[in-house]
């Protein structure tokens, strides 16, 4: 189950997505008295693994068993799939999924299918070492591992993957016999590959940065198609609320009033990024414009700083003790776009008398230790990615503040703690009515804009570079990439 091009749940393998409206989802009372949800799922008849074996509920059951088995190392679905209380097979094409609590995204809890005729015995014989023994690792070119329009053909680790048509695919016939995906080490080399013709397209989900694509369009605008798809990638400044300056709401508001974010977006990205006022994209479900906004206004910035107890002396912003304000601004080292953004922010805050020191780290250190253990002392520039209609529970709920006691779990790196926000997040997680959910989302955004647990910058756009002859590529703007509809790709005129 994924989110589709229209930002609504779709199921590649199901006849219908289970909902309360179509009767395939219903509320039930569990044995312990809690309220759960039961889903009835029917698989499509004409779906086959690429070795000709039909996809059945037995394959979905195996996918569920593997994803909920804590013995399987590196299991990416383990935490989420604990919401599934049980999965029961009715017949080869029908099954029931029982969820052990009310969850807003109940429609998405259909486990992935894994071919039991290939993987079943491997898993059951040695669950602890399944991650090493699975055919997806030891023999990934095995046809029966795939059920989409293409299957893996040839590959070279770290170099390329070639996919070829699945002869047993019964959906829309793919136009291309095969498609190759290349791994290119850096963006300069990637651009060289494009210009030499050794690659035909650069997907926006990963590839060139937006500023690089803009420069490429300036030079070669008539030779390629350029698509900029605004999405959910939320570029922002996480604050450390333990910082004595950043802990003051008025100071955070002063910081935001001090920067011309629209100018930043216009000058660096030619207006192709959407200005953010909260962490909710204008394209997402529940978005509201009814929030306080912070346009560039040095006068209002000064008022907020004064409200927080600061003043400007000798061109510097000082606190009540006369100490000049200094802030650290961190991000991922080597990211030229973020380095440009940092320089703009540093320059604009300097005009307000604030000294900002840039301190960047390799991504593995920045994300793997510094943010995780809340070692950033000031501001942290990075982005969050999510699926549509996802409440920001992991980043804003007080229970998700990383601490040594919880082994640095959670992603509330700011240490934001507002009981009203916690209550809204708890409520929206179990709210099933769409209108109620939209109202809760609006309330969350209003508190976010007032409290500023992070300083919003913009929503990033995925930047696609396509040959003129390629049609049918539809960017989504969210975490599920355009390749989910690769069978729609074709040459112009076909």
Is residue 81 over pLDDT 70? no
- pLDDT class for 36, splitting at 50, 70, 90? very high
Give the model's pLDDT for residue 130.
95
Is residue 461 over pLDDT 70? yes
Give the model's pLDDT for residue 78.
58
Which has the higher per-residue pLDDT, 238 or 104? 238
Give the model's pLDDT for residue 76.
63
Using CA atoms, how far apart are residues 494 and 490, in angstroms rounded to an integer?
6
Give the model's pLDDT for residue 80.
65
Q: Assign residue 166 a region (left: φ > 0; alpha: ψ between -120 and 50; beta: otherwise).
A: beta
**Average per-residue pLDDT for the chain:** 93
Give the model's pLDDT for residue 434.
85
Using CA atoms, how far apart are residues 191 and 212, in angstroms rounded to an integer?
9
Give the model's pLDDT for residue 346.
97
- pLDDT class for 387, splitting at 50, 70, 90? confident
Q: Which residues, including other chains, have CB under 8 Å from residue 384's CB and lie 6 or more apart?
A: 233, 234, 236, 279, 392, 395
Average pLDDT, integer, range 232-253: 96
Give the model's pLDDT for residue 493.
78
72, 131 Cβ separation under 8 angstroms: yes
Tens digit of pLDDT for each residue in 321-368? 999 999 999 999 988 889 999 999 999 999 999 999 999 999 999 999
Three-class SS state of 413: coil
- pLDDT class for 388, splitting at 50, 70, 90? confident
Give the model's pLDDT for residue 103.
87
pTM above threshold 0.85:
no
Tens digit of pLDDT for each residue in 5-24? 888 889 999 999 999 999 99
Average pLDDT, integer, range 176-195: 88
Average pLDDT, integer, range 81-100: 92
What's the residue count for the chain?
Answer: 494
Percent of the chain with pLDDT over 90: 78
Give the model's pLDDT for residue 312.
93
C-alpha dist (Å) from residue 494 to 203, 329, 470: 21, 51, 10
Tens digit of pLDDT for each residue in 325-337? 999 999 999 888 8
Give the model's pLDDT for residue 79.
61
Average pLDDT, integer, range 81-109: 91
Residue 58 φ then ψ, to 5°: -65, -35
- pLDDT class for 293, splitting at 50, 70, 90? very high
């Amino acid at each position: 189950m994924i989110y589709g091009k229209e930002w609504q749940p779709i199921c590649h393998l199901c006849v219908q997505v289970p909902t309360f409206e179509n009767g395939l989802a219903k509320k039930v009372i569990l044995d312990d008295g809690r309220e759960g949800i039961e889903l009835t799922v029917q698989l499509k008849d004409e779906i086959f693994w690429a070795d000709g074996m039909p996809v059945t509920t037995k394959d979905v059951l195996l996918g569920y068993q593997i994803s909920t088995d804590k013995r399987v190392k590196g299991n990416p679905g383990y935490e989420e799939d604990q919401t599934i209380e049980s999965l029961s097979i009715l017949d080869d094409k029908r099954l029931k999924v029982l969820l052990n609590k009310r969850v807003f995204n109940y429609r998405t809890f259909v486990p992935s299918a894994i071919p039991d005729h290939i993987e079943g015995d491997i898993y059951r014989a040695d669950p602890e070492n399944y991650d090493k023994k699975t055919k997806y690792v030891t023999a990934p070119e095995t046809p029966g591992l795939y059920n989409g329009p293409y299957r893996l053909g040839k590959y070279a680790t770290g170099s390329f993957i070639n996919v070829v048509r699945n002869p047993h695919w019964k959906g829309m016939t793919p136009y291309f016999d095969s498609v190759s995906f290349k791994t290119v080490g850096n963006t300069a080399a990637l651009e060289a590959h494009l210009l030499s013709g050794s690659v035909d397209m650069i997907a926006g989900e990963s590839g060139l940065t937006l500023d690089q694509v803009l420069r490429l369009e300036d030079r070669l605008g008539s030779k390629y198609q350029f698509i900029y798809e605004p999405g959910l990638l939320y570029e922002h400044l996480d604050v450390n609320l333990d910082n004595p300056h950043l802990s003051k709401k008025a100071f955070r508001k002063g910081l935001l009033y001090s920067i011309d974010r629209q100018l930043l977006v216009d000058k660096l990205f030619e207006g192709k990024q959407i200005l953010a006022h909260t962490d909710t994209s204008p394209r997402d479900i529940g978005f509201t414009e009814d929030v306080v906004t912070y346009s560039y206004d040095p006068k209002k910035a000064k008022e907020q700083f004064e409200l927080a107890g600061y003043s400007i002396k000798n061109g510097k912003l000082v606190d009540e003790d006369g100490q000049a304000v200094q802030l650290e601004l961190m991000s991922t080292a080597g990211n030229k776009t973020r380095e440009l953004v940092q320089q703009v922010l540093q320059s604009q805050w300097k005009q307000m008398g604030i000294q900002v020191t840039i301190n960047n780290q390799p991504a593995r250190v920045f994300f793997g230790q510094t943010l995780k253990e809340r070692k950033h002392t000031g501001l942290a520039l990075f982005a969050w990615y999510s699926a549509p209609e996802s409440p920001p529970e992991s980043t804003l709920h007080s229970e998700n503040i990383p601490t040594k006691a919880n082994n640095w779990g959670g992603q509330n790196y700011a240490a934001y703690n507002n009981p009203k926000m916690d209550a809204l997040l708890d409520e929206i997680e179990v709210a099933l009515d769409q209108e109620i959910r939209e109202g809760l989302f609006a309330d969350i955004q209003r508190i976010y804009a007032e409290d500023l647990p992070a300083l919003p910058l913009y929503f990033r756009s995925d930047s696609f570079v396509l040959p003129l002859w390629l049609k049918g590529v539809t960017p989504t703007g969210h975490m599920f990439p355009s390749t989910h509809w690769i069978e729609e790709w074709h040459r112009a005129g076909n």
